[in-house]
Amino acid sequence: MASLRKASSYSKKKARPYTRVSKNKSKAYIKQVPHNKIVKYNLGNTEAFVAGKLKHIVRLIADEKAQVRDNSLESCRLLLTKNLEKRLPKQFYMIVKVYPHHILRNNKTAAGAGADRLSSGMKHSFGIVEGRAAMVRPGTEMFFIACETEKAAREAREIMNSLKSKIPCKSVIRFEKEE
């Protein structure tokens, strides 16, 4: 399996969302849409959340503009669910709040000795579809966790603090209690 391109390739601050998919193939710029790697968006004790029993809320909020790949979001979700299930079984409800709409492209060029005849340079520079990303602005809520007690919310905050290394942007963790 080919490795992923480095994040700095896509970290343009002025990137335009690229989502043009049409049922009419001649109008579609994207011929094949890559599948979304995020498996579930809502997890945990849904009944308690709907009933209003989970009053303590922890949120992970983006603090700068960035593109967050779907595999990064999925790895964060897996880390959260694994640790929350272990530490707080049936005492939480979690939501992944961002959706990867933006489609990433890669214009592969051949490099090395004698490779000058293989690459087309910028002649056909559109690039092949490589993956998906969520375009995040400052203040965008990325993850949401609701807990029963304040102690559980502190545990969730600790777990969420470990996510910061998996996300390519600065982020802030906010804690609040609903009345």
Q: Is 17 within a domain?
A: no
CATH number at residue 165: 3.90.1170.10
Residue 85 contacts residue 58 (beta carbons within 8 Å):
no
- Percent of the residues in the chain that have a pLDDT greater than 70, as a whole number: 80
Q: Which two tokens mark 131?
A: 């993956």
**Amino acid in the structure at residue 40:** K
Q: Is 153 within a domain?
A: yes
Residue 46, Ramachandran bin (φ over 0: left; ψ between -120 and 50: alpha; else beta): alpha
Q: How far apart are CA 84 and CA 66, in angstroms?
A: 27
- pTM equals 0.81
Q: Is 24 within a domain?
A: no
pLDDT digits 0-9 by tens, 107-118: 777 666 665 566
Residue 33 contacts residue 150 (beta carbons within 8 Å):
no
pLDDT above 90: residue 46: yes
Q: Is 25 within a domain?
A: no
